[in-house]
Amino acid sequence: MGDTPPIRTTCPYCGVGCGVLATPRSDGNVTIKGDPDHPANFGRLCSKGMALGETLGLDGRLLYPEVNGQKTSWDQALDHVAQRFKRTIETYGPDSVGFYLSGQMLTEDYYVANKLMKGFIGSANVDTNSRLCMSSTVAGHKRAFGSDTVPGNYEDLEHADLIVLVGSNMAWCHPVLFQRILAAKDKRPGLNIVVIDPRRTKTAEMANLHLPINADGDVALFNGLLQHIVQTQMVNSSYVGDHTVGFSEAVNATQISQKDLIKRTGLSEGQINEFYSLFVNTEKVVTCFSQGVNQSSSGTDKVNAIINCHLATGRIGRKGMGPFSLTGQPNAMGGREVGGLANMLAAHMDIDNQAHRDLVTEFWGASNLAPKPGLKAVELFRALKSGDVKALWIMGTNPMVSMPDTDLVAEALAACPMLVVSDMMANTPTMGFAQVKLPSIGWGEKGGTVTNSERRISRQRAFLPAPGMARPDWWQMAQLGKKLGHEEAFGFKNAAEVFAEHAALSGYQNDGTRDFDIGVHADVSSEEYEALKPFQWPQPKEAEPSATRFFANGSFYTDDKRGRFVPTRLADKQQHKPKSKFVLNTGRVRDHWHTMTRTGKSATLSSHMGEPYCEISRADAQRLHIKPADLVRLFVKDQQVIVRALISTKLSAGQVFCPMHWNNNYASIGSINQLVKAELDPHSGQPALKAARVKVERANMSIFGFAVTRNEPKDLSADYWAKAITRTGWRIEFAHQRARDLPRLVREIANTDVTTADVAYHAPHDDQQRLAWFDGVHLRTAIYIASSPVEVSRSWAAGQLDTIFDETALRYRMVAGRPGKDMPDPGPIVCSCFSVGANQILDAVNAGCTSVSEIGKTLSAGTNCGSCKAEISELIHERSLLAAE
Ligand SMILES: Nc1nc2c(c(=O)[nH]1)N[C@H]1C(S)=C(S)[C@@H](COP(=O)(O)OP(=O)(O)OC[C@H]3O[C@@H](n4cnc5c(=O)[nH]c(N)nc54)[C@H](O)[C@@H]3O)O[C@H]1N2
Ligand SMILES: Nc1nc2c(c(=O)[nH]1)N[C@H]1C(S)=C(S)[C@@H](COP(=O)(O)OP(=O)(O)OC[C@H]3O[C@@H](n4cnc5c(=O)[nH]c(N)nc54)[C@H](O)[C@@H]3O)O[C@H]1N2
Ligand code: SF4
Ligand SMILES: [Mo]
């Protein structure tokens, strides 16, 4: 039997929103390719997109509803939820319940949840992880434009002559869009890229200019730029005069002395001037921003400080120009469109606007429209802890890992009398607290729409059957609506009906008064919905699809249709923190997605970074006696995490960087948000996730270990451990303070005693032990133990699980701990598509390759998804520096 034809769908990870062709094969696997016809990616995919097929297995899935630990039917589970919500609302009022949702839900899921809470339950306590992600941008857009509008398109990045990336590690976090920029730069080398980031990221590696700004120096930098625009007479007076208000007030309010500018940004006068003159002298500028901007206690002001400079130069809404918010999640934008934040209403309408409230009440036939904004994410969890909120439904997000102050989150969840969690996975740290566990279908099984960063709406389509009893999120919410007595309002038969209603609301009495209008789809049939092609909004009912940019000629969504300059405030004093504390910067790695519930299942993706780490400067490492591969302890009072030290030249002293991904499913104590307190932006309520203060010290361990093993060890008691999946098993890092616990640790990993090892090596002088067990010709477990960090090639050792040991002599290779001459050590994996390691790339450089494309020709590395191009370029660069020394 032949394979079925490919299904067109959209990648479930980042906000680039790449089109995917998924082909289920007769052997049960799924072939994943980029969709050449999708206007976001034109066939490209990054490493995460490429590996989607590896994340579709059913291991770890939640497959049936559970109430208080008992399997049950959907009907019983939802009856239970409905009764408890109803009773709580009757006794304590609508604001005693809440939903905590996710920018990874589809628009249809989100629409139903928002409609239920805001239109029928009568509370606006529906907030989402987008609060941790995009809410400063939403607040900044609304202050400047009167609406939450992204003015430009991806194409603008290809037409720009200058791209400024502020707080964005695009090479890793929006890789396909970054590839589009690099391709444009290849064609037009005059295209300049400036990266503003405290760290020299892989993105900065590819830039013409990197400004290693101090944490939160951005408002100062862009206020200084506004001043420079005025001083150099580069103000676009006609645009400012015709289309904006508040210019002189903003300019006056944002004055900053050169001395203060240098102090706050930590940049030199030369660096600042170079950036300013590039900006004023280039007409076509796009300024992209992401979490280095949003996740800050001054996030909203950062957004407005950037927008002010674009308004002042009139560089907005025209080809190749504009401020550009890079959205993180696949449907961050769709969530905003349905109004899924506690301070929004629906379809880009405002909760505190009476006309909007009347319109939505009428359209929905709402019995009980929420009278006021609800609790924002962090407030919602605080209210849960204090008992003001007594019933919460969490859907598609893992706050026990992703919220700041996870200890508070744990207390809040534990205190919640009625906690419902809908997820695909059974064992997320959040799910552990739920009384009602509801199995959701996930990517590949569900269908609906998502909106990407450039306002393009695309279909996700199912190509796999729903496993077990798992059901769509929108259906779960609609059932609750019905069980609460709102049969008619929640009688949706399928996702197409939900989308049609959403589209109809967007166009309802709109007439160009609101930016978000997809009224053309108000009557979409199920067939048309199935065939829906990616399209960009707005698409009003009667209008021809036309301009896809906003504000080139004003027409802002404010009362007077003028854009607003917003005076932004610098913090009263630069935060002077005690010297002993580090600024803790957090963020993402190339190949993992958030809390790893999906990417943690992929061996390809897990080969890039196998454990949590802390990037620390050489100077600080030296001062704290931290050596390469040591473990470090980061702590605040009695909260701590232990992670691997990565001594680096890419950030300056006083800063450390840790990825946000690892949690107790993959590491002992790697959950970084234990250390991040919930300091909030005053306008958006978004927590400052990038500038916590922590102490750092070397973690004293008496034994270090590394293991590869076929079966996943379940209970590991080492003081430090981290595990990562490989093609046929697991790789484990561990370390422990008490040497005498070693036999127990070995037993936990090998499932047997030290004495049973098939081959063993023991070096008494330095406590080194190397042990291996075999099942026939296959390696079962190999463990390496030493009193200092173990030096064994991780990728080589993991590969041995797939090797045939048909000669006994070969087994000794395992305890030698190094590859034989016939199998060179590839080194840490750089290119995950072709499993090419750093050593192989360096060998090729030694053999004469001098460019990324030559490496590609020799090793194929970087030629598939291209996500590793920046890393390859860095290796070549570093090797050539070495050669020059
Ligand atoms: N591989 C991967 N890609 C992803 C995701 C993922 O989990 N993994 N998640 C997606 C999501 S939801 C999001 S929101 C995006 C996030 O995408 P990004 O925002 O690009 O990623 P982050 O790593 O969170 O942070 C970006 C950069 O901000 C810098 N930064 C920290 N503080 C400051 C500051 O004060 N000023 C400036 N200018 N910069 C600062 C950090 O050093 C970091 O390099 O990524 C999306 N894409
Ligand atoms: N320190 C620090 N913390 C951060 C950040 C940071 O940069 N630093 N970034 C913040 C940002 S920008 C974000 S977006 C958040 C992300 O944080 P989270 O949203 O908590 O992270 P995910 O791992 O994406 O969680 C998604 C959950 O939904 C489940 N899931 C997947 N698909 C479906 C589905 O279709 N239906 C349902 N019901 N469930 C599904 C997954 O199994 C997983 O448990 O983290 C935030 N936290
Ligand atoms: S850039 Fe990568 S993660 Fe983002 S949508 Fe495209 S394939 Fe998915
Ligand atoms: Mo995000």
List of residues 6+ apart from 137 with CB closer than 8 A: 148, 289, 293, 294, 299, 303, 325
Q: Specify the DSSP element, H or E, that contains 227.
A: helix 218-231
For the chain, residues classed under CATH 3.40.50.740 are 66-133+331-536
The pLDDT value recorded for residue 468 is 97
Residue 543: the pLDDT is 75
Please report the sign of the dihedral spanned by the C-alpha atoms of residue 836, residue 838, residue 839, residue 844. positive
Residues in CB range of 531: below 8 A, 6 or more apart: none
- As a three-state string, the secondary structure of 618-645 is HHHHHHCCCCCCCEEEEEECCEEEEEEE
User: H or E element: which one contains 648?
Assistant: strand 639-648
Task: Tell me, in angstroms, the distance from the centre of ligand 1 to residue 180's CA.
Answer: 19
pLDDT above 70 as % of the chain: 97
Compute the distance from residue 46 Cα to the ligand 3 centre, in Å: 6
Round to whole Å and give the CA distance between 782 and 798: 10
| Separation between Cα atoms, residue 486 and residue 483, nearest integer Å | 7
Q: Of 217, 211, 177, 216, whose CA–CA distance to 197 is shortest?
A: 211
CA 405 to chain centre: 18
> Nearest bound ligand to CA 104?
2
More confident residue, 418 or 607: 418
Q: Which among 177, 327, 50, 726 is positioned nearest to 337, based on CA atoms? A: 327
Mutate to test the pocket of ligand 1, among 197, 199, 267 (most ligand atoms within 8 A of CB): 197
Residue 316 pLDDT grade (very low, low, confident, very high; cuts 50, 70, 90): very high
448, 526 in Cβ contact below 8 A? no
Which ligand has its closest atom nearest to the C-alpha of 586? 2
**CA-nearest residue, atom 13 of ligand 2:** 133
The answer to whether 177 and 152 have CB atoms below 8 angstroms apart is no
Q: Is the peptide bond before 538 cis (omega within 30 degrees of 0)?
A: yes
Q: Which fold has domain 66-133+331-536?
A: Rossmann fold (3.40.50)
For ligand 3, atom 4: residue with the closest CA:
14
535: β partners:
457
Mean pLDDT of 410-415: 97
As a whole number of angstroms, the distance between CA 477 and CA 490 comes to 9
598 lines ligand 1 (CB under 6 A): no
- Closest among 598, 782, 784, 807 to 706, alpha carbons compared: 784
Lowest mean pLDDT among 170-184, 393-407, 541-555, 785-799: 541-555
pLDDT at res. 865? 84
Whether residue 588 has its Cβ less than 6 Å from ligand 1: yes
CATH 2.20.25.90 placement within the chain: 7-55
Predicted pLDDT of residue 391: 98
pTM for the full model? 0.96
Instruction: Kindly state if the Cβ of 133 falls inside 6 Å of ligand 1.
Output: yes
Mean pLDDT score, 531-547: 86
> What's the gap in Å between 426 CA and the centre of ligand 2?
15
Distance from the alpha carbon of residue 340 to the mean position of ligand 4, in angstroms: 15
Please name which ligand lies nearest the alpha carbon of 299.
1
Output the 3-class SS for 168-224.
Answer: CCHHHHCHHHHHHHHHHHHHCCCCEEEEECCCCCHHHHCCCEEECCCCCCHHHHHHH
Determine whether the shortest distance from the Cβ of 599 to ligand 2 is under 6 A.
no
Q: What separation in Å is there between the alpha carbon of 176 and the centre of ligand 3?
A: 6
Q: What is the chain's length?
A: 885
Minimum-distance ligand to the CA of 666? 2
Backbone angles phi, psi at 295, to 5 degrees: -85, 65
**Range from 37-41, 85-89, 361-365, 666-670 carrying the lowest mean pLDDT:** 666-670
33, two tokens: 């390719």
Predicted confidence band of residue 368 (pLDDT cuts 50, 70, 90)? very high
How many angstroms separate the CA atoms of 847 and 853, rounded? 15
Beta bridge partner(s), residue 856: none
Q: Which residue has the tokens 């490496």?
A: 855
Q: Give per-residue pLDDT as tens, 119-146.
A: 999 999 999 999 999 999 999 999 999 9
* Ligand 2 atom with the shortest distance to the CA of 588: 7
The separation between the first and the last C-alpha atoms of the chain, rounded to the nearest angstrom, is 61
* CA distance linking residue 153 with residue 573, whole number of Å: 38
pLDDT of 251 over the 70 cut: yes
Place of tokens 């032990």: 769
Max CA-CA distance within the chain?
Answer: 83
DSSP assigned state of 825: -
Average pLDDT over residues 744-763: 93
The ligand 3 atom nearest the CA atom of 452: 5
In this predicted structure, what is the pLDDT of residue 1?
Answer: 46
**Is the CB–ligand 1 distance for residue 291 below 6 Å?**
yes
Q: Which ligand is nearest to the CA of 291?
A: 1
Closest to 516 measured CA to CA, from 225, 138, 241: 138
The CATH class, in words, for 582-698 is mainly beta
For residue 41, the CA-to-ligand 3 centroid distance in Å is 9
Closest CA to 614 of 683, 669, 678: 669
Return the residue whose CA atom lies nearest to atom 1 of ligand 3.
176
Could you tell me the CA-to-CA distances from 556 to 152, 218, 244 in Å, in that order?
14, 25, 9
Mean pLDDT of the 254-278 span: 97
More confident residue, 609 or 20: 20
Mean pLDDT calculated for residue range 564-570 = 94
Which pair of structure tokens corresponds to residue 252?
């006056």
How many angstroms does the Cα of residue 84 sit away from the middle of ligand 1?
39
The CB of 50 under 6 Å from ligand 3? The reply is no
Average pLDDT rounded to a whole number, residues 253-282? 97
Q: Examine the pLDDT at 813 and tell me if it is beyond 90.
A: no
Neighbouring-strand partners of residue 126: 99
CB of 133 closer than 6 A to ligand 2? yes
Atom number in ligand 1 closest to CA 174: 47
User: Alpha helix locations (H) across 638-757?
Assistant: 742-750
Question: What is the rounded distance in angstroms from the CA atom of residue 113 to the CA atom of residue 777?
Answer: 54
**Alpha carbon nearest to ligand 2 atom 24, residue:** 594
135-325 folds as Dimethylsulfoxide Reductase; domain 2 (3.40.228)
Nearest atom (ligand 1) to Cα of 589 = 1
Residues 574-600 have pLDDT tens digits of 555 556 799 999 999 999 999 999 999
Task: Determine the angle formed by the axes of helices 299-312 and 135-145, rounding to 10 degrees.
Answer: 40
- Buried-exposed string 136-174: b where 16+ CB fall within 10 A, e elsewhere: bbbbbbbbbbbbbbbbbbbbbbbbbbbbbbbbbbbbbbb
pLDDT, tens digit, 9 for 90 and up, residues 700-709: 999 999 999 9
To test the ligand 1 pocket, which listed residue (169, 200, 289) has its Cβ within 8 A of the most ligand atoms?
169
CA distance 65 to 231: 64
Other C-beta atoms closer than 10 Å to the C-beta of 543 total 13
Query: What does the pLDDT look like over 634-663, one tens digit per residue?
Result: 999 989 999 999 999 999 999 999 999 999
- CB of 12 sitting under 6 A from ligand 3: no
Q: What is the pLDDT of residue 882?
A: 60
How many degrees, rounded to 5, is the angle at CA 137 between CA 295 and CA 589?
Answer: 45
Residue 45 is predicted with a pLDDT of 95
Nearest ligand (C-alpha, residue 329):
1
Residues 516-522: contacts with CB within 8 Å, 24+ apart? 516/147, 516/337, 516/347, 516/348, 518/457
Pairing of β 70-71 and β 66-67:
antiparallel
Q: In what order do the strands lie in the sheet with 7-10?
A: 7-10, 19-24, 30-34
CATH 3.40.228.10 range(s) for the chain read: 135-325
Cβ atoms 823, 816 nearer than 8 A? no
Q: Please choose from 9, 10, 11 the residue to mutate so as to test ligand 3's pocket, defined by most ligand atoms within 8 A of CB.
A: 11
CATH topology of domain 7-55: N-terminal domain of TfIIb (2.20.25)
Residue 796 alpha carbon to ligand 2 centre in Å: 32
Do 498 and 108 touch, CB atoms closer than 8 A? yes
Residue 439: strand pairing partners: 423
CB 453 within 8 A of CB 13: no
Percent of the chain exceeding pLDDT 90 equals 85
pLDDT in tens, 832-858: 888 898 888 988 888 888 889 899 898
Residue 404 has pLDDT above 90, yes or no: yes
Instruction: Verify whether ligand 2 is closer than 6 Å to residue 329 (CB atom).
Output: yes
Å from CA of 10 to ligand 3 middle: 9
Is 584 close to ligand 2, i.e. is its CB under 6 Å away? Answer: no
**Helix axis angle, 869-884 relative to 838-846, nearest 10°?**
50
Mean pLDDT of the chain: 94
Ligand 4 centroid to Cα of residue 330, in Å, is: 9
Which atom of ligand 3 is closest in space to residue 177's alpha carbon?
1
For a pocket test of ligand 3, which of 33, 47, 48, 172 has the largest count of ligand atoms closer than 8 A to its C-beta? Answer: 48
- C-beta separation of 282 from 293 below 8 A: no
Which residue bears the tokens 């002599």?
A: 809
pLDDT at 817: 72
Q: Concatenated DSSP letters for 11-38?
A: -SSSTT--EEEEEE-TTS-EEEEE-TT-
The helix (run of H) or strand (run of E) holding residue 79 is helix 74-92
Mean pLDDT over 360-369 rounds to: 96
Q: State the Cα–Cα distance between residues 630 and 609, nearest whole angstrom.
A: 16
Does any ligand 2 atom lie closer than 6 A to the CB of residue 595? yes
Atom 9, ligand 1: residue with shortest CA distance: 328
Contact 360, 346 (CB under 8 A): yes
Q: In this structure, how many other beta carbons lie within 10 angstroms of the beta carbon of residue 464?
A: 18
Tell me how far apart the alpha carbons of residues 843 and 839 are, in angstroms, rounded to a whole number.
Answer: 6
Written as six digits, the tokens of 519 are: 């009224």
- How are beta strands 19-24 and 7-10 bridged, if at all? antiparallel
Q: What digits encode the pLDDT tens for the residues 435-454? A: 999 999 999 999 999 999 99
Q: What is the mean pLDDT of residues 345-364?
A: 97
Considering every ligand atom shown, identify the ligand nearest to the alpha carbon of residue 49 and give its number: 3
CATH 1.10.10.1100 in the chain: give the residue spans: 829-884
Of 651, 639, 644, 633, which Cα lies nearest the Cα of 677? 639
CATH number of 829-884: 1.10.10.1100
- Cα 173 to Cα 533: distance, rounded to the nearest angstrom: 25
- Residue 885: pLDDT above 70? no
17 lines ligand 3 (CB under 6 A): yes
